[in-house]
Amino acid sequence: MPPFSSSATILAIETSCDETAVAIVQGRQVLSSIVTSQIDIHRRYGGVVPEVASREHVQAVGGAIAQALTAANLSWNSIDAIAATCAPGLVGALMVGLSAAKTLAVVHHKPFLGIHHLEGHIYASYLSEPTLAPPFLCLLVSGGHTSFVHVRGPGDYAILGKTRDDAAGEAFDKVARLLDLGYPGGPVIDRLAQQGNPQTFPLPEGKISLPEGGFHPYDASFSGLKTAVLRLTEKLRTQGELPVADIAASFQATVVRALVKRAIACAQDYKLTTIVVGGGVAANSTLREQLQLAAKAHDLNVIFPPMKYCTDNAAMIACAAVDQFENGARSPLTLGAQSKLSLTDIASLYQ
């Protein structure tokens, strides 16, 4: 496939969870990216409260749109289309960005596109590697999803493997909560783990048994690991002060081992020479280090998104929208928000 050469300019809105984000992207170039995080509000509750998230999005979205245009120094005339994340995510939260995007599309006579949030996470790496082109393997590791995706072409995805229970980011958040480290858990476990020894506590790597014997080569499980950390923590608490850094390092090493092993197996089995990582856990320093090492040993390329585009942002949504727009995709104004939608059903978003 030839290198990407589009110059469509798209304004995208992302409100699927607890970040109100608006960005303007031209081709693969970010002209502005505004992210207003609600983390400080949700931290009090130890996780995202959906009703609170929706209300915060309503308050923030108008200002974020104005800021994105000002920062890019553009008027509506320069925008080719307006996009918003429409699935998957919190329905009430998604509806805020979606309604704003549809309204702007009508008022300014622009095409409208609904974008799949996970397609956005896949596209985050295009922002640092503009010539990236399918086919490749995407290791999608976010707060709500963990999948090994065969990206066969723009908008053409096959799920090779996935978690059967908790997502990798969710496991970081739950383990952080049981260690009293607060929310979100990933960054704080990552930081603490640097001072710990990952070999202190051997922890079980979840495996999925197959009826015919053996284990599923790509599917993963993280809920057993979380329970093992809980039991370990209960035992250690009775013995004195908790060795939090060693627990964090041991837990993180186990998650990373499970992800790296499966990503390499998928890439080799499907003869894919590039592994692209997406989602909040792509920010993890041990995952970055270990996947780079393993990829080098197997003669594979690995691409991580820029740190600021790992967690939720609208630049990745706009970047995905550029390809969809160039391919002629347009969404009807009747498009609704959906809490769940597989990446393989993305065509249902377009006319």
Ligand X SMILES: Nc1ncnc2c1ncn2[C@@H]1O[C@H](COP(=O)(O)OP(=O)(O)OP(=O)(O)O)[C@@H](O)[C@H]1O
The CB-of-41 to ligand X minimum distance in angstroms stands at 15
Q: Which is nearer to ligand X, 170 or 219 (CB)?
A: 170
Does position 92 interact with ligand X (CB under 6 A)? The reply is no
The site map against Mg ion for 136-165 (x = CB under 5 A) is ------x-----------------------
- Check residue 166 for interaction with ligand X (CB under 6 A): no
Using CB under 6 A, which of 136, 148, 157, 172 touches ligand X? Answer: 172
CA-nearest of 311, 291, 262, 244 to 163 is 262
Given the complex with ligand X, which of 104 and 255 has the nearer CB atom?
Answer: 255
DSSP secondary structure letter of residue 271: T
- Distance of CA 347 to CAs 12, 16, 84, 91, 315, Å? 19, 19, 15, 20, 21
Among residues 26, 147, 284, 331, the one that binds ligand X under rule CB under 6 A: 284
Tell me which residues in 263-302 interact with Mg ion (CB under 5 A).
none
Which is closer to Mg ion, CB of 155 or CB of 279? 279
Size of the chain in residues: 351
Q: Which is nearer to ligand X, 145 or 150 (CB)?
A: 145
Instruction: Count CB neighbours of 280 within 10 A.
Output: 22
Nearest distance, CB of residue 144 and ligand X, angstroms: 3
By rule CB under 6 A, what count of residues binds ligand X?
Answer: 24
36-68: string of b/e by CB count within 10 Å (b at 16+)? bebeeebeeeeebbbebbbbbbbebbeebbeeb
Place of tokens 């081709």: 27
Whether residue 227 contacts residue 197, with contact meaning beta carbons closer than 8 Å, is answered with: no
Which one of ligand X, Mg ion, none is in contact with 120 (Cβ closer than 5 to 8 A by kind)?
A: none
Q: Which residue has the tokens 């809920």?
A: 223
How far, in Å, CA of 86 to CA of 336, rounded?
7
Instruction: Return the residue of 56, 119, 166, 173 that touches ligand X, per CB under 6 A.
Output: 173
Q: Which stretch binds ligand X (CB under 6 A): 138-146, 207-215, 298-306, 334-342?
A: 138-146
Question: β-pairing, 19-26 with 81-87?
Answer: unpaired
CB of 169 to ligand X, least distance (A): 3
Judged by beta carbon, residue 15 or residue 32, the one nearer Mg ion is: 15
Under the binding rule (CB under 5 A), the answer on residue 173 touching Mg ion is no
Two structure tokens written together for 64: 């974020």
Nearest residue (CB) to ligand X, 70 versus 194: 194
Binding of residue 145 to ligand X (CB under 6 A): yes
> 37 Cβ partners below 8 Å, 6+ apart?
18, 19
Window 263-282: contact mask with ligand X (x via CB under 6 A): ----------------xxx-
**Smaller CB separation from Mg ion, 190 or 246:** 190
Tokens of 62: 């108008």
What gap in Å lies between CA 29 and CA 27, rounded to an integer? 6
- Please report whether residue 134 would count as binding ligand X according to CB under 6 A: no
Taking the C-alpha atoms of residue 8 and residue 299, their distance in angstroms, rounded to an integer, is 35
- The footprint of ligand X (CB under 6 A) covers 16-17, 89, 117, 121, 142-145, 169, 172-173, 184-187, 190, 279-281, 283-284, 311-312
Residues of the shown chain interacting with Mg ion in the complex, contacts defined by CB under 5 A: 142, 312
